[in-house]
Every structure is written in C-alpha cells, then in structure tokens.
Amino acid sequence: MPRLGVTALLMPAVFAAAVLPASRVSVLVVSESGVEAYSEALSGIGAVLPAGTFRLVDVGGTTFEHDFASAMESNESRVVIAVGSRALSEVRAHHPGTPVVSAMVLRGNDAEPGIRHVDLDIPVAAQLIAMKSLWPGHTRAGIIRNPAQSRYPAELLGAIARKEGFSLLVIDCDGPAHLLKAMGAFKGRVDFVLCPPDSDLYNAVTIKPLVLASLEQRVPLVGFSAAFVRAGAAAGIFPDYADMGRQSAEVALRVLRGEDHGAPNESPRKIQVAVNQRVTRLLGVEFRPEPVAAEVYR
C-alpha cells in the first residue's frame, strides 16, 4: 500500500517527460494509464532513465496515434518500451522498426525478432524457493494450469521442482468450468497449490469458489498477485513491479549502448511475497513471513 503512494507521487514527474523537447528523447515509453501495476513499473523506469531521455505515450489516450507517429518520425526514439500487453500489441501493429522492450507481459514470445521481454512470469523454481522459506518442510506442490497457455510441459516443470526438492502435481484445466474439479484432485495429495497468472482460470468470478474449495480441502492457494491474496489466497508470489520497470529500463539502456547480447526473455529479478493471515488461520497452517519479508494481510 505505501508503494502506491510513492507511485502516485512519481507519476506527474514521469508523465511530465512527455512534453520535453524531442531532441534529447531516445526512449519512447508506451503504456496504459489507470493500471496500478503499470504505474509502479513506470516509476521504476523513471528512476533509471535520465531525465529528458524518454518520452511517455498513453496507449489509451485519444492522441496516441498522433503522438506515437510523431515520436517515431522524429527518429529520436531509438528504443521503445512497451508496458503491458495492450501497449505491446499496439507497438507491434505500428512496426516501429526500432528495438522494443516489453515489460509487464505474460509469456513473451522467445522467437519474436527485435523484441526483448522482461517477463511477468515468475519461474516455478523461484516460486518454490520462496515457498520453502515461507513454509519449510512442505514440499508437495500442485499447480493448476491451462495447457494451451502454458510455456513449459508438465514433465519439465516436475523436473524443475524436483531440483528444488519439491514434488509437483500438475493438473491441467482447460477452462473455469473444470476449476473446482481440478482443485478437488489435490485433496490429500499436495501441501499447497500454485496458481500461475491466467485471467481465464483465475478471475473475480472464479476466485471465491476456488478459495472456498481450498478452505474445504485445507489446501492453501498461492496466488500471483497481492489482489489475489487479499481475495482469499493463503499466500501470493508476484513480481516487484517497480523493479520490473527498472529492469526493463536497464535493458533499454543496454540496447541503446549496443551492449544487449543477453537472452530475449528475462524473468523478474525481484519478487514479493504476501500472506493472508486470516486465511492461513482458517486453514490451520502457519507461514513464516520473516525470511522472505512477506507482506502480511491480517
């Protein structure tokens, strides 16, 4: 919550860059206003890029087409940072011809030329490590995923888990209609269930029955956002969005300097953990938030 306040304070400064003279602008930031996580990411971008070196264009604004076109025609924007999936698709649609860094996008396409992804996905290994710190001794993990949306096969995920000392039960679920059935399959077989970001499976409609099912089966859910934790997940593991902004800005600077030889996809460097203490009490489990500096919702 305090981070929101900081973001709000930074936002005017960030958007003020949009009116700076085009002569010094070398990075064009395309984002969508009104999304809390994007605002945090923008604050991170603003913290890394020197003042006056970037320009912000709101993809939801009425003058987006004009602003974007004029920014690209001036040939001053040598890198584009697209914040969010909508901004990325708009940038793709305009074929800017300059390198693009995408941030805050799930499952970026590895094979897409000219685009560097700072991925929103937290690797399973990182999640399991966080869980090991949060709830030591509970190594039976489960995951509900839509196979069509998943980047990795189940076997690979299992191998990654085993490497971290966990067993991983992967249940495929191709839609929200089968979500509870999938949840039921975990009863007595796993200690917790990871919920990867998937707006089809996990949304405002499905969360309540899912949380009730987890309470009934005494299987904690591990969500992918703070909002998910507030809505009833026992814990949440999610990226630090401001750091993601910083990370994407650093990638853009590397590209500008011609030093970018890394992988096209980068995972979040810094994650955050949150715990819903009320739900853990209902479940009868006790997490240790201290080692991972988890935010605790009471």
Residues near another protein (CB under 8 A): 208, 211-213, 215-218, 227, 230-232, 276-279, 281-284, 297-298
Closest separation between CB of residue 297 and another protein, Å?
Answer: 6
**Calpha distance 32→42 (Å, rounded):** 10
* 237 Cβ contact partners less than 8 Å away, ≥ 6 residues apart: 122, 126, 127, 130, 131, 222, 223, 224, 271, 272, 273
Tell how strand 79-83 and strand 100-105 pair up: parallel
Element (H, E) at 253: helix 241-257
Helix axes 2-16, 36-48, angle to 10 degrees: 60
Closest separation between CB of residue 261 and another protein, Å?
Answer: 43
Task: Return the structure tokens found at 13.
Answer: 């400064």
> Which stretches of 11-166 are assigned E, i.e. beta strand?
27-31, 54-58, 79-83, 100-105, 115-119, 140-145
Alpha-carbon Rg of the chain, whole angstroms? 20
**Calpha distance 152→156 (Å, rounded):** 6
Closest separation between CB of residue 213 and another protein, Å?
Answer: 6
Closest separation between CB of residue 228 and another protein, Å?
Answer: 10
Cβ nearer to another protein, comparing 46 with 232? 232
Cβ nearer to another protein, comparing 66 with 281? 281
Closest separation between CB of residue 284 and another protein, Å?
Answer: 7
Closest separation between CB of residue 168 and another protein, Å?
Answer: 25
**Calpha distance 108→133 (Å, rounded):** 28
CA dihedral 143, 268, 102, 56 (to 10 degrees): 130
**Calpha distance 178→1 (Å, rounded):** 34
**Calpha distance 71→19 (Å, rounded):** 11
Cβ nearer to another protein, comparing 272 with 276? 276
Closest separation between CB of residue 211 and another protein, Å?
Answer: 6
Closest separation between CB of residue 264 and another protein, Å?
Answer: 36
CB atoms near residue 297 (< 10 Å): 15
Cβ nearer to another protein, comparing 28 with 211? 211
Cβ nearer to another protein, comparing 159 with 212? 212
Cβ nearer to another protein, comparing 149 with 277? 277
Cβ nearer to another protein, comparing 253 with 283? 283
Cβ nearer to another protein, comparing 225 with 247? 225
